[in-house]
Structure 1
Amino acid sequence: MHRIREWMESACSVAVLTGAGISAESGIPTFRGAAGLWRQYRPEDLATPEAFARDPKLVWEWYDWRRGLIAKAQPNAAHCALTRLERRVSDFTLITQNVDGLHDRAGSRNILKVHGDIWTVRCSACGKERQDLRPSIPDLPLRCACGALERPGVVWFGEPLPAEVWQRAETAAREAALFLVIGTAAVVYPAAGLANLAKSAGAKVVEINVAETPLSTFVDASLRGPAAEILPQLLS
């Protein structure tokens, strides 16, 4: 841990990739396996353009349930530690696969949301986006002022990542002196490939996860345990 602290103190540019694990420590389900079922549906059954076209009300009801869960959660010590790290580093980028907004609520500023934001809704016709921070939405599905259906502002299975956001994420990984991978199993591509990109460009890559992942033997250092415990120690 001493060696990683030295890397953090000397790095002029830091990029961080966070996944579902950091939010799980705030009590938000990861939606993987049997624990991820809602009614009898899997996320893969609902988080697709085809599912929305088939039954937009059902898809919205699932997202409304998720919004309610997320609204009750609070940023944990790992989210707050990343906010402190951002203040200490002149060039800091937080790349997250999470859509829950906990990094925003913790106070992080330079956030790239590669999978979108559950608190954003987007018109399926005109593309207009707006924020809707209500934990529960009474009349579903939502409609835009233009009359078309609005959808959650997230990336669904089978959809490309937002091009501009992804380009900025790649640039941040390529230019980082230190790249932290926190709470992600490193199996969802293309985001999982950012660590490889950072390391090939010369960055020190550090993994923080409760379990071993495909990245564990590849990184420069791998710390095993909850990020809410490890990150504050690294910054102390």
Structure 2
Amino acid sequence: MRRSFFCSHRTLFPRSPESYSPRGRMAPKTSIAEFRELVNKSNRILAVCGAGLSAASGLPTFRGAGGLWRNHEPTSLARPEAFADDPALVWLFYAWRKHMALRANPNRGHYALAKLAMKKDNFLCLTQNVDGLSVRAGHPDSKLRLLHGSILDLECFNKCGYIDRLNLNDPPCPALAAASEDYPPDQTMPLLDPNVPTPKIKVQDLPHCPECKTGLLRPVLCGLDDAMLKGIDDWIEQGPIDLMLEIGTSATVFPAAGYMHEAQNRGAVVAVVNPDPDSAGGLMPDDFFFQGSAAEVLPQLFEGVIGKTDENGDTAPN
């Protein structure tokens, strides 16, 4: 399956000419009861999750005017070239993000998705998040795909083949201790202040590969592994899709945006969960839109299948 990775399906692929006219288009559905019926009878369900899913856990989304780290675009630091140029700077950024992720806990939205995956045999969740919270919530590995990797997984930058899964070391090494410091809410962490110089770190003091002994370790991020992508394509092509869940994401970044379009082409009803009302743009009258936090909305939407979910992910039957 070939994709054109250049825009959101909502701009390029409206399902009818009416979608060009706001006045001529009915609003999507908002009935929780009606949606629960759909979830109950749905067989093949595809979910795509973004930063909004983890926002309730207290993790930054790096969006908007404040979406910078020490005046760096986070996406630029994810590039292999950035790591090759300044591995200490990149490691400080990821060590801080890892500390934030480990300090946070999965929220009720993570747990609700994990429980739904356990209940539905033909369920697949694609997450753009690298924080590891879906994994920690108990989401079955066979029904979860990490589109951009995980900050808890490490690999050898020399590509010797070494991979360390679910590494929970915080800090990753003594030289990166500054990234794991906690400060009161009214104080700015020095590492986050671009006016404060970063700690001087020698490359030899950064995490090294225990296998080849020479390569630096680096979080497994933004890999878009070909085998994983092929597996997702194979799952999509197996047959019609009953329900497409878009959770906490604008669905404008590929490959996620492409999967939305492919699900629609296979007959999926789309359900969007997002605090931003603009996220309903492009939805059709048979689709659903639920405005709010995924941590609050998802447990309500799936309650008919998974029961009531508490803050710890425990469920009680209806």
TM-score (ref. length: structure 2): 0.69
User: Could you say which residue in structure 2 is the equivalent of 1:192?
Assistant: 257
- Give the 3-state SS of the residue equivalent to 1:112 in structure 2: strand
Gaps of 5+ in 1: none
Give the conservation status (yes or no) of the 8 Å contact 1:185–1:213.
Answer: no
Give the conservation status (yes or no) of the 8 Å contact 1:144–1:150.
Answer: yes
2:225 aligns with one of 162, 165, 174: 162
User: Could you say which residue in structure 1 is the equivalent of 2:190?
Assistant: none
User: Could you say which residue in structure 2 is the equivalent of 1:89?
Assistant: 120
The yes-or-no answer on 1:113 pairing with 2:178 is: no
Aligned pairs for 1:27-46 (under 5 A) are 27-46=58-77
Alpha carbons of structure 1 residues 150 and 89: separation in structure 2 relative to 1, 3 Å: same
| Distance in 1 separating the partners of 2:62 and 2:170 | 19
| Distance in 1 separating the partners of 2:44 and 2:110 | 19
The yes-or-no answer on 1:181 pairing with 2:246 is: yes
Aligned Cα RMSD in Å?
Answer: 1.7
- Give the 3-state SS of the residue equivalent to 2:298 in structure 1: helix
Give the conservation status (yes or no) of the 8 Å contact 1:206–1:222.
Answer: yes
| Distance in 1 separating the partners of 2:280 and 2:157 | 37
Name the aligned partner's letter for residue 208 of structure 2: R
User: Could you say which residue in structure 1 is the equivalent of 2:294?
Assistant: 227
Deviation of 1:94 (Å): 1.3
| Distance in 2 separating the partners of 1:81 and 1:116 | 22
- Of residues 45-54 and 100-109 in structure 1, the stretch that sits farther from structure 2 once superposed is 45-54
- Give the 3-state SS of the residue equivalent to 2:267 in structure 1: coil
**Which of 1 and 2 has higher RCO (CA within 8 Å, sep 6+)?**
2
- Give the 3-state SS of the residue equivalent to 1:29 in structure 2: coil
**How many residue pairs align between the two structures?**
232
1:26 aligns with one of 57, 66, 72: 57
| Distance in 1 separating the partners of 2:155 and 2:278 | 34
Deviation of 1:168 (Å): 2.3
User: Could you say which residue in structure 1 is the equivalent of 2:268?
Assistant: 203
Name the aligned partner's letter for residue 18 of structure 1: C
- Of residues 123-132 and 47-56 in structure 1, the stretch that sits farther from structure 2 once superposed is 123-132
User: Could you say which residue in structure 1 is the equivalent of 2:170?
Assistant: 135
Alpha carbons of structure 1 residues 215 and 169: separation in structure 2 relative to 1, 3 Å: farther
- Of residues 38-47 and 121-130 in structure 1, the stretch that sits farther from structure 2 once superposed is 38-47
TM-score (ref. length: structure 1): 0.91
- Give the 3-state SS of the residue equivalent to 1:134 in structure 2: coil
Deviations 1:148-189 (A, max 9, x none): 12211111xxxx611121222234445432111100011111
The answer to which structure has the higher strand fraction is: 1
The yes-or-no answer on 1:73 pairing with 2:112 is: no
Aligned pairs for 1:44-55 (under 5 A) are 44-55=75-86
| Distance in 2 separating the partners of 1:187 and 1:102 | 22
Greater radius of gyration (CA): 2
Give the conservation status (yes or no) of the 8 Å contact 2:272–2:279.
Answer: no
User: Could you say which residue in structure 2 is the equivalent of 1:124?
Assistant: 157
User: Could you say which residue in structure 1 is the equivalent of 2:182?
Assistant: none
Give the conservation status (yes or no) of the 8 Å contact 2:49–2:126.
Answer: yes
